[in-house]
Structure formats: C-alpha cells, structure tokens
Structure 1
Amino acid sequence: MIGVLGPGGIGGLVAARLAAAGHDVTIVASERTAAEITARGLRFTAPGTPEDVSYPTARAYLTEPVDVLFVAVKATDLLPALQRIPAKTLGNATVVPFLNGVDHMSLLRATYPEANVAAATIAVEATRHRPGVVEQVSTMADVGLTEGSDVAELLAKAGFDVTTHPDESTALWRKLVFLAPFALLTTSAQAPLGEALEKRGEWLHPLAQEAAAAAKSQNAEVDAEAVEARIRGAAPTFRSSLLKDFLDGRALELDAIAGPIIRALGRDNAPATVDAVATILGS
C-alpha cells in the first residue's frame, strides 16, 4: 500500500505513475480535491503518451496504514498538511519527502518518530491544471535517493530515472545547488530561463558558487561549474516552480530554497543569494 500526501504537480505525477504500475495508491488531500478524484479519477498526461486515467483511493485523512508515504506538498504547506497524517496510523512506514530544501527532514522525524524518513529529491516539471488533472511537462523525471533506499526499485519500475547518493546531505544538497540558482534567477527576472539569462545572466555564476559553498559546509561536494553549465544548457522555456508560484500570487518557498544557503554561509558570505531574495520580495 502506497500513500501520497498532496496530489499537486509532483504528487499527482507520482500517484499516477505508481497506480499505472499496478500499485494500490491512497491519495491524501484537501476535502475538495479528494472528492474530485473520488468522483472523476486522476487524469495524467506526459510527453509523447496518451492521457491516463486511474482511480486511486482519495481521502482527506490517512485512515489506514501504508507501507510507503510520499510527501509532495509545498514546503509552505507542510505543517498543516501533516495534520492529515496521524502518527499512530503511519506507524513505521517509510516516508519519502519530495520537498524543496533540507530543513523538512528534522521536522518529519520529530513528527513521525517510528517512521523511516528517507532523503529524496525529484527533478521534473509538472503542473496541476485543476484538482485531479496533472501534466508532466518535461521529458525528464529524475529521482535522487540515498544508497540502500528500499523505494529505489519501486520508483524505477514506475518509470523514474533513479540515482543514489552515498549520504543524506549529498542527496539533498545536489538538488538544492541546482534549484536555488535556477529558481532565484528566473523568479528575480520574472521570466523563463532563456529570457532570465538574457536579463540577468551575470547573476548565475555567483548564485551557483554560493550554493555549492553552502553544500560544502554541510559535507556535500557539488561542482558549481557543472551546475552552471547544466542550467545554461537547459531549455530556454524552462520555468521554476518558484517562478510559477510568484506569477500566480501563491506563497513562495523562498526560505526552503534560499534559507539553507544564507544560514550555512552567513549573510555577508552569500550576497548574491541575499540580493536575489530581496529583489523577489521587493517586486
């Protein structure tokens, strides 16, 4: 039995792929979204494939134990969302959080002391068009896990490209060192990647350097030059989730994305990150 907390772009994608692979999936969501999926199913599209419609169980609260719980809510929504997952019901399940940042790990372990909380990341562009209707926009769907994770095979068989890392810090910071420069650059420019590079391309190098330095301070080695090259080589239409939230007027995950870098280095040693945050907040 698999649970998915938060069937937005990421959670809906995970639920749909696992359901298509034959797993028994329970979605935990708001009352409205749970009712929508119960009545109409979960509709999912991905590049080059026809629409898939599945009918996972959908509830407003987790009422039965699961073996694995994927947590796929926004960092800004994590605390209220966890009220839908009672610790006694979850028990010793494996919890796989697909959240931005690094600070959620300690919160999840404090909330679910009996559970096995596994460090995990996901890199994919996905959008929830409305409750129960999810589109995978990018062709890539990459998952990072710590070595020895018991969900690696589960996700690989569901069509994800899974990479394992030797330790938790590396697994989390490898994504953040890519995400922070990309998200801060595109959101401060209020534009997709190609236009953002034209407007503020000189910001990318210091942002990547600061993110990599913060990772190193937490015992995670990430090549800043390789990250910068990867971002510059990405599709010009690529938009970060932070940019989408900014344009739609939703709460921003700035603390989850930029906060760990500033806290690790100190404000004086992360001027590009601090300036990017100030620009976004002042927009």
Structure 2
Amino acid sequence: MLRPSIAILGAGAIGSLLAARLAAAGSDVTLVARGPRLAQIRAEGLKIRDLDGPRAITLPVTEALRSPVSVLFLCVKGPAIEAALRGNLDGIGPDTRIVPLVNGIPWWFFDDLGHPVRAVDPDGALFRLVPFQQIVGAVTMMTAGFEPDGTVVSTIPHFLALGPTIPDGPRPVDLADELTAAGIALDRADYIRPLVWEKLALNAATNPLSALTGQTLAQIAADPASCTRATALAREIEVLSAAYGNPIVVSDSLAARLTKAGAFRTSMLQDAEAGRALELAPITHAPLELAGARGVAMPETARLLADLQAVRPTQTLSFQDIPS
C-alpha cells in the first residue's frame, strides 16, 4: 500500500503538534502556514515539547498547496475555515480525504434541519466547497499550547478518534496506520457522531467558562462554584445529544477529567487574554441553534453566553446575531 501524502492546514498548536509527530515518524507530510509563523518554522524548524521531550522537527512548509494530497487535516478555527480552504483548493482533488479537527459542532454536522448549521456555516459555503463523501469524521483529545518562543507544548498523551460520518461508512485504514506510527493513540470508531457530542460537552462546559473566570481546567475543578456550573453545562449537552439520538454521559466524570488535565489554559482562555474574538459559534451558538430546532431548553448555556457578553462585549458575538 502506498503511503498517503498528508497536508496539515493550519500551524496553530494542534496543527503543529500533529505535523511534527507525523514528520518525525517518516510520514509524507507538508504543513501549511502563513506570515511570521511560516517564517519561524522555515528558520528554526518546528519546535515541540511533549512527553517524548523537546526537539525541533524539519519538514516541508508552504504558504499554499499547489497539487492534490491524499489527506488534508483542517486545523484552523471556525471563522478562518472558508478562507483557508479557498486558498488551498489546488490541494483538494476528487480523492482527497478531508479531516476537520475543529472544536464543537463541525459544519458538516446536521440532522434534519433542512440546511447546514447556520452558526458555523451561515450561507452553506463550506458545504459547497467540501463534498460530504470526502469528509473523514475526527475528534481530537490532544491538547497543546505555545510558549513565547513558538515552541508547542503538550503535557498529556496524544489521542485522536477517526470514524465514518455515517454508520458503516468507509474507514481510513492507511491514515490510521500513519497516526499510530506517529505515537498517536487512535480510537477507530464505528461512527464518529457520538464522539463529537462527547467532545462538545467537554468544550461547552469548560472553554467559555474559562474565558469568563480566567481559570485553568484544574482550577475549574477545584472551585466548587465553577465545577457546579461546568457540570450543569455538560448536562445540557447530554440532553441535547440524546434529543438527536446520541445519548452520552460526560458530567459524571467531568471533575476528575479536569483535575487530571492540570493547569491547562483552554484555547478560549488564551484568546480572551490576548483580546482575540472568542470561538463561540461551534461551541455555544451551534448547540443553541440545534436545541431550538428540537425544543430543548439550555438555560445554563444561554446564561453563560450572556455573562460573557457583559464581561467581554467586543470579543463575544451574540447568538441573536447569527444569520437565520
């Protein structure tokens, strides 16, 4: 079997970590980066520090793909997805498998709404850009962040789930082998949607709350008020997931999981501290949209969003501002 050509679109913490692990294992991988990050990687290599220790990885890095690849990992945040895809259409052929490693509800994740989830794909542009049959469902439990010198730091084992977006859909066997060889523990799921809901419950319970309180995951677990609020937020996602036919249980083990994660600062907390817009659309707005379609009440989620808007008005888009 020929090894797949792999591109990582997005040189943020997760994209960089994934690219470095694959490159170190000998995969045919190219990282797509821009601006100062592109220049830094070309000059210094891709610097990471994880449980295998510190190192700098040399790998191909480019500003845009010029020919189709076998697999395209999409590792950019929601607002940047469309522009990133349009800038790399030459890298997407009819046989390219696209693996979105995105937070919250992905754009392809819809049920019987009759249209894409508008919070993450307002006019259906992403649906038109990416054929559904080319999408490989994925959920990452990898965590990573940047040090001031651009080193990517990850302090927990690397874990990724891959699976069909439809029951009994095709399985990416060759890609799974590449990831396993790179030291990434893999859940070869029969069906990815329940795992998307589980990851959403974790994101929805912690990311916006961390941006509001300034707390790390361990601090949320240790603070009775924050832990109670996080648990209530996770339970709302559990109810919503069950309404869409995917029962999950996350809230019972939430405190223990947050404690184990330690002093991890969520990406939304980092964005809040840097004055950047918060990635609420896939984590908060999309669940509220899906809840409205099924008549599910989510008062804790709505209250958290209102609190964020009061504290960080310039960084927080109102749910009412989502196109309908």
Cα deviations by residue, 1:151-178 (Å, 9 ceiling, x for unpaired): 2222111111111333232131121112
Q: How does 1:1-283 map to 2 (within 5 A)?
A: 1-49=5-53, 51-86=54-89, 88-91=90-93, 92-105=95-108, 108-113=126-131, 116-129=134-147, 133-146=150-163, 148-150=171-173, 151-197=175-221, 198=223, 199-266=225-292, 269-283=297-311
Aligned partners of 1:17 and 1:158 also within 8 Å = yes
Offset, 1:48: 4.8
CA distance in 2, matches of 1:152, 1:77: 26
Offset, 1:108: 4.6
Alignment: residue pair count: 280
Cα deviations by residue, 1:151-207 (Å, 9 ceiling, x for unpaired): 222211111111133323213112111221021332222211333341423212221
4+ long deviations beyond 4 Å: 106-109
CA distance in 2, matches of 1:96, 1:134: 24
Offset, 1:118: 0.7
CA 1:73–1:232 in structure 2 vs 1: closer, same or farther (change >3 Å)? closer
Give 2:318's aligned residue.
none
CA distance in 2, matches of 1:67, 1:239: 33
TM-score, normalisation: structure 1 = 0.89
Structure 1 gap segments, 5+ residues each: none
TM-score, normalisation: structure 2 = 0.79
Structure 2 gap segments, 5+ residues each: 110-124, 165-170, 312-324
Cα deviations by residue, 1:21-52 (Å, 9 ceiling, x for unpaired): 00122111214332332233211211351x22
SS at match of 2:260: coil
SS at match of 2:205: helix
Q: Which amino acid aligns with 1:44?
A: I
CA 1:162–1:264 in structure 2 vs 1: closer, same or farther (change >3 Å)? same
